[in-house]
Structure 1
Amino acid sequence: MSTGIAPTSATRTDRPTHPRPSTRAWLVWSFGVLAYILAIVSRSSLSAVAAETSDRFGVTAATLSTFAVLQLGVYGAMQIPVGLILDRIGPRRVLTVGLLVMALGQGLLAVTESVPGAFAARFLVGAGDATIFVSVVRLIIAWFPPRQAPLLTQVTGLIAQFGQIVSVIPLLALVHSRGWTFAFLGLALVLLLVAIAVGASVRDHPPHHEAPVLPAGPRVVQRVREVWSNPGTRLGFWAHFVTPHGGNVIALLWGFPYLTAGEGLPIGQAQALLSIQVVAGAVFGLLIGRFAGRHPLRRSWAVLAVVGIQAVALAVVVANPGPAPVWQLLILVMCFAAGGPGSLVGLDFARTSNPPHLTSSATGMANSAGFLASLLALLMIGALLDVQNAGTPDTYSLEGFRIAFCSLYLLWLVGVVGVLHNRRRLRRVMAENGVHVPPLREVVNRYQRRR
């Protein structure tokens, strides 16, 4: 079985050459970014209205976590099937259907008042969300030169994170001023309109450009095994696993309750910090994207650095005897913001290590990892809050949140082990193919000699 290893996008010789991106390419990309922004709004909508959700459905922290866990579980479980479907039918149809499914989910959430109805709504939102980012990545690969793909993927992710600001400020304001039903029906309508626009305007690839030809067979299970057997895919999986779950916990559910009910910040300050998280993510995205593009053989160091600053920032906040100073919370939120851009390095590992006809399958497989980690983090935090009798808006406590957030360290430990193990295996295969990655000390010594 062929490994399909290609360590960097710069060394790929099996991709078609691209001219300079056309105006149509940027238009297609813009529609993809708009779709991803709305996916982020839908994904993080319960974070800003966590207290309102708890009151509307009469649920505790564990059940509230289950809403987000179900959504992330569906997202993660659908990544491999979505990748396989993308490789077969292309991103336009997958993206359009995903937006329609999310619109249906938000519409159901707007009108239901029962817990089963809310579960069904979040199931639909997770299913629709699962199609969006991998479809946009596929459009980037088809419409832009390979050398631009890592940075443009980062830019896509960082722009889309502004959807979190929409959920934290305008959506919350609409819920307070016009009511729950009006706010979520409005979001459903916007999703529907964008789905129509995407279906009418987006094309899978440029004119006169042939899509990658899928070889006959193998069967689905064999293709999944082929993709997973590639150490680059596994490295991408663990890189995506270890980086984003801290930021997702804050953005998807527990950030607003932690900052207001736990740390005692006014609503305005909490909104400002969560908005700064988005801006910080944009800055980290540019830095990490540029680093990954210029040093493709050292991309894993960006992943490990992101984990390191997140772990240290959380330790500093947790070590406070009382409420943390705002500047420490600001640093924590900014460090967690690096998780999103860091996770995209994992997708880059999967993309550049597989042949073109397996790109979406590999990307989907890697993309499931961060949401699996986020699912586990949300489950553990909700359960730990309930165990401490701090699982409802009336009983949230700073100490309860601190103990619950320490569960993130277990996921960081598991993820770092996975990254180091699979990096070693990938480098071994690369060496067999004639690509040698010199030890870091050798690179440092060489740089010092040049100085």
Structure 2
Amino acid sequence: MAVVSPFRDPAPARLAFAVWGAGLAAYVVAVTGRTSLGVAGLQAVDRFEISAATLSLFSVVQLAVYAAAQIPVGLLLDRIGSRRLIATGAMVLAAGQLMLAVVDTLPMALAARVLVGVGDATAFVSVLRLVPAWFPSRRVPVLTQMTGIVGSTGQIISAVPFMAVLLRFGWTPAFVSLAALGVFMGIVAAIVVRDRPRLPAPAPARESVQPVGTGAEVPPAAVPARREKVSLRAVMGEPGTWLGFFTHFVSLFPTNTFVLLWGVPFLTAGQGRSAQEASVFLTVSALAGVVMGPVAGELQARHPLRRSWLVLGAAAFAIGAWTMVLVPTTPRPTWQLVVLVLALTSTATASNVGFDFARTFVPPARLGTATGVVNVGGFVASLISIYLVGLVLDLVRPDGHYVLDDFRAAFAAQGVVWVIGLTGLLTARHATRRRMAEGGVVVPPVREVIARMRNHHREG
């Protein structure tokens, strides 16, 4: 079983990294815009005179728009390419940030966040599309991880310089600065990013052919070498797409719930930390991801049949960390909060495995669409989780003067999303492995692999 690569021989490394780097910088700015309201949550409550549930509505609206845009954006990406989509998205996001900077009414602020969501929706999937176009397949898992993890450092910009501008100069200058940054990155993307290398096509006899899943979880049927029509139905009919969807679903929402809105209020009002200390925790999370990402990517490349175990392991780590923090009735020591943010970083890292499933199960001509479908999973789960936390906070403390017990109850509500996500993940994995078995690829049970390793060690 093989799929003909739609791309030519690898481009010069310097050029490839310049193109990817420009796209990645635009994604960092998009993440900064996405997370900016999380650190400005308390100021937003005062500016717009709103409750916690209404504050969560800002993130819910933005994430709903982001999620709803993913499939249309994916279809558009397969048609017009990354360069135009990244540049246009950066300008739309900048318009949303500029609007948010000057309005002071709730309806207009929500409209501004809609624009931010639309602009944000174009960045990640467009950059992911660049990776297999410009780099050898062996590097793709690591660079996919690095795209997500380096992109998440946008939260450092939100947590440190943006918060500093917000606290010193106020709401309008802080959001105007983000708008200016978005315009700058749109211009850079238009100049530097190219959809694929401009290299001469090799002779047909020397065309690059890649086994779809050398050791990977692959579909049972060969993918034709001809150019294919983008088909959403075909993408949705592949069990591997749903494996990627629920991987992203179960892995991303814990991080988004914390980083996008409720982490800073939890750390300040619930744990008694200062705003500066909260910024440090978010920075530790982002920096830890830079280390975790390449490690996870290398493990994916070396053990592609066990990628789902990375996801399950990260989920177990996060559930354990939240249990450790939420069960006690007193504020937690610093080391436990560090463990929590590291656990949330591990799930964010694991969420990128979902895009690797899309890459190995779906033909290249449909990769943008498949990536969009996978990306929907994490953000649908995120908006449900964010709203649940805000709803519980309003129910237990309508006056908005939150204490630790309020956050303990609110974050415990995430358990509902965990159950849905893990059930979907395990179901999709079973269906995917059944499809693989029909094509002659059998994933041996872990106990057999361990027994084989022990026997090999003894014989050695």
> Which range moved further: 418-427 or 100-109?
418-427
Contact 2:93 2:116 in 1 (8 A): yes
Relative to structure 1, the CA distance from residue 165 to residue 258 in structure 2 (aligned partners, 3 Å threshold; closer, same or farther) is: same
1:414 aligns with 2:420: yes
Structure 1 residues 51 and 209, CA gap change in structure 2 (3 angstroms): farther
Q: Is the 8 A contact 2:89 2:118 kept in 1?
A: yes
CA distance in 2, matches of 1:130, 1:378: 18
Contact 1:57–1:113 (CA under 8 A) maintained in structure 2: yes
What residue in structure 2 maps to residue 307 of structure 1? 315
Partner of 2:379: 371
1:236-283 superposed Cα distances (whole Å, 9 cap, x missing partner): 000000011111111101111100111101222222111111112222
Instruction: Give yes or no for the alignment of 1:129 onto 2:129.
Output: no
Would you say 1:177 and 2:190 are equivalent positions? no
Q: How far apart, in 1, do the equivalents of 2:74 and 2:226 lie?
A: 15
* Residue 274 of structure 2: aligned partner: 266
State how far apart, in whole Å, the 2-side matches of 1:207 and 1:139 are. 13
CA distance in 2, matches of 1:153, 1:84: 20
Map 1:9-408 onto structure 2 (within 5 A). 12-19=3-10, 21-208=12-199, 214-216=227-229, 223-390=231-398, 392=400, 395-408=401-414
Alpha-carbon distance between aligned partners in 2 of 1:309 and 1:414, rounded to the nearest angstrom: 17
What's the CA shift string for 1:117-156, capped at 9, x where partnerless? Answer: 1101100000010000000001112111122111001112
Determine the structure 1 residue equivalent to 2:212: none
Partner of 1:425: 431
RMSD over equivalenced CA pairs, Å = 1.5
Instruction: Say whether residues 1:449 and 2:440 are aligned partners.
Output: no
Range that drifts further, 397-406 or 279-288: 279-288
How far the C-alpha of 1:327 sits from its partner, in A, is 1.2
Task: Output the amino acid matched with 1:434.
Answer: G
C-alpha spacing 1:209/1:75, structure 2 compared with 1 (3 Å):
farther
Aligned mates of 1:159, 1:24 — CA distance in 2: 19
Cα displacement string for residues 196-226 of structure 1 (whole angstroms, at most 9, x for unaligned residues): 121122111101367x97435x7xxxx2221
Deviations 1:290-326 (A, max 9, x none): 1111101100000000100000110111111211122
Gap change, CA 1:391 and 1:343, over 3 Å in 2: farther
SS at match of 1:338: helix
Residue type at the aligned position of 2:354: G
Distance 1:253 1:213, change over 3 A: farther
Equivalent residues of 1:21, 1:145 under 8 A apart: no
C-alpha displacement of 1:435: 1.4
Counterpart code for 1:175: L
Q: Please report how far the alpha carbon of residue 15 of structure 1 lies from its aligned counterpart in structure 2 after TM superposition.
A: 4.2
* 1: CA distance, partners of 2:299 / 2:85: 31
| 1:130 aligned counterpart, secondary structure | helix
Cα contact 2:329–2:404 (8 A) shared by 1: no
Aligned residues: 434
Distance 1:64 1:326, change over 3 A: same
Runs of 4+ aligned structure 1 residues displaced above 4 Å come to none
Q: Identity over the aligned pairs, expressed in percent?
A: 44
Deviation at 1:345, TM superposition (A): 0.2
Distance 2:276 2:399 in 1: 23
Alignment gaps of 5+ in structure 2: 202-224
Partners of 1:179 and 1:209 in 2: CA distance: 53
Query: 2:207 matched to which residue of 1?
Result: none
Report if aligned partners of 1:15, 1:356 keep a CA contact under 8 Å in 2. yes
Contact 2:45 2:51 in 1 (8 A): yes
The residue matched to 2:441 in structure 1 has which SS?
coil
Aligned residues of 1:350 and 1:363 also touching (Cα < 8 A): yes
Could you tell me whether the CA contact under 8 Å between 1:75 and 1:129 is conserved in 2?
A: yes
List alignment gaps of at least 5 residues for structure 1: 1-5
CA contact (8 A) 1:40 1:163 kept: yes
Q: 1:450: how far off?
A: 1.2
| Cα contact 1:390–1:397 (8 A) shared by 2 | no
- Cα distance between partner residues in 2 of 1:16 and 1:89: 16
Aligned equivalents of 1:284 and 1:412: distance in 2?
A: 22
For residues 309 and 283 of structure 2, what CA distance do their matches in structure 1 show?
27
Q: Say whether the 8 Å CA contact 2:10–2:134 is kept in structure 1.
A: no
> C-alpha deviations, 1:414-442, integer Å up to 9, x for none?
11111111111111111122212111111
Matched to 1:29, the amino acid is: W
- Give the CA deviation at 1:12: 4.5
